[in-house]
A and B are shown apart, each in its own frame.
Chain A
Amino acid sequence: MQSEPESLDEVSLIWMTGIGCNGCTLAMLEASDPGIDDLIFGNVPDAPRVTLIHPELSMESGAQYLGLLERAASGTSAPFVLVLEGALPVDLPNPGGVSHVITAAAGEVTESPSTFSPPTLALWIERLAARAEAVIAIGSCASWGGIPASSGSALHVQSLSDLLGHHYVSRGGLPVVNIPGCAPPGQVFIETLIYVFLHLKQFVPLDLDEERRPRWLYRHNVYPLPPRVEYPPAVGFDLSQRPTVGCPVPVTGWVRNIGGCTKVGGSCIGCTERDFVDRFLALARPDPALN
């Protein structure tokens, strides 16, 4: 079911955070030309004017913020795109605590905190996803589970696709869009978001690969490798024997075409891939004895 394209002049961007490090939020803020501010002010041709609803950054707080989520979840507000940063905890790992439940972005007055059992993040996501024009997982935690899903972490987490199911389709006719990377460059997020808007307005269909990543951004293969060191590593690297991962950084750099991991002598740890800590970190160690 596609919504009417003409209703997409004003769109809210509802950004939720699970278990993560906030790095994807920073990456999003770093992008410019266009940046999130250009979308907020409606400066991007053919993209809607965006209202950012973010736990740290939006203007509303407390009950007002909760009201925004509630209206979006019940379908009485402007159309919206849902973004998740961070992994979703499966079991609440904190007995008696109040974390991993959304109460308010800033604060709420209540009679007694002990009777206070607000809905969990996963519950909110499920309600919002049912109404969202599109749903985006930013970063490897939301796309695959990331660091919290690594061996040893003692956490049981799931990705956004795990929660919504792999057959999920948004109101705008899209599956969960993955923008993996730890973190992905912010520009990659903004660019994908704009293409999601163009898809929703039925201008250009969104081209996703089999991992539901924007195909044109993740089609470059890079080799997980150690950083550049000025002493001889114990072994040479036979690239034909090495795995590759898809990554936008060889083309985009990190920000405004500056930097970017192996482009400037850093390591590639394969951070856009599933379970990168367990699968690729060993290929990126600077200690010659271990390579």
Chain B
Amino acid sequence: MDLSKLSALEAGRMIKNKEISVAEITKAALENIEKTDKNYHAFITLCADEALKRAEEVQKGIDDGTYTSPLAGVPMALKDNMCTKGILTTCASKILTGFKPFYNATAYSNLENAGAVLLGKLNMDEFAMGSTTETSYYGATLNPWGENRVPGGSSGGSAVAIATDQVYYALGSDTGGSIRQPCAFCGITGIKPTYGRVSRYGLIPYASSLDQIGPMGRSVGDVAAVLNIISGHDPKDSTSVNMDALNITLKNDVKGKKIGVPTDWFGEGLEKDVKEKVLEAAKKLENMGAIIEEFKMPEIEYVIPTYYIIACAEASSNLSRFDGVKYGYCTPSFDDLTDLYCKSRSEGFGMEVKRRIMIGAFVLSSGYYDAYYKKALQVKAVIKKAFDKAFEKYDAILSPTAPTTALKMGENLSDPLKMYLGDIYTVSINLAGLPSMVIPCGFDKEGLPVGLQLTGKPFSENELMNIAYSFQKETDFHLKKPVIKREV
């Protein structure tokens, strides 16, 4: 039996029923990673010894009734921007060289308390700034669905680890699409929860008003099980909402649901195959009993400039903490304190990170603050209002996730503005703080996956997941697998 093909919930059930031990499944997963990851580079850090030790602990905990979660003992991994006690946390940046946090991110603590077995830390764009995972200091991650294709980003390592059956689920983070777009490019399922649903404590910040941690996995069922564990109020994150952890119960529930399709999101720039597959998915949902209705949302034209102004402004402020003094990389020779700061930062950050810090410093600088930053916050209010209006009528909004399927490596790296434009369908949702889910809905003519994006009103995760779950009950796109290259 090939254990790697199980869903997270199936693996959890087999562990609970003593059909396999935690050590067995952990060993099998580590062996599989060793065979495959030279070809894909999903991991920055593999914690083989820690994982095997942890597997024994978790097995005891399951046997004595400490761990009762449906995912107890199931091997998983984290995007490398979440703090893990005593384990390298790099944000895929040179500037965090050697950084070992002394505490765990709350989302990971919650999983630990549920008996998760951490296999390692996953690759990403440096500081989550990018849409291809090519800006990682540790090198690019490859998409298993096509030769020389990017996995998307910034949570590209998380997406590939799932798509290649290396892990049963992973956590990603999403500031402007960083969970959803790699899910679409790699043919997997994921959700960016409502802002505040999951604690951000221990998530190394990019843009704090937009960042949100979320689960990525093989099906809606797996993703819902993870979200149940990681959600909930955390006194250590005062923006986490004061609500209990989710207790999602999935049901086939799409009849009579009103789903809006914003026609302005299907215009110029959207690849023909992506458009077709997404509209076919809408038709499918209609046949299943949903009410599909078109509507206008012309504010889409303004979402990218608004997002990049706000995100870069927050990044320039957040990343000021990297100074060569407290942690990570420090330049070997310097004249004075300013020189130490400037050299450590210039040598430690990659070009895309520097670019965003500088854009942020510019839009916040005196003389330009009102014209850019304040203006963007006003347009954000306009965008939020457009969503509020749509959700007066609809239970969910259906759209593409990205204008294209997985790009060729290097295609956008030389043209940052072109890369930013690829985020058109995802960024507005972070500006409005909404929950948004991506599920596979077909393949383009080259065999690359297409992702369907379903967005809901604040805190409607369960409702949203019911629609996605119903769709997966009727389709098998999420069960399709790429050919995985293994070394013998």
Partners in one complex: no
List residues of chain B with CB under 8 Å of any chain A CB. Answer: none
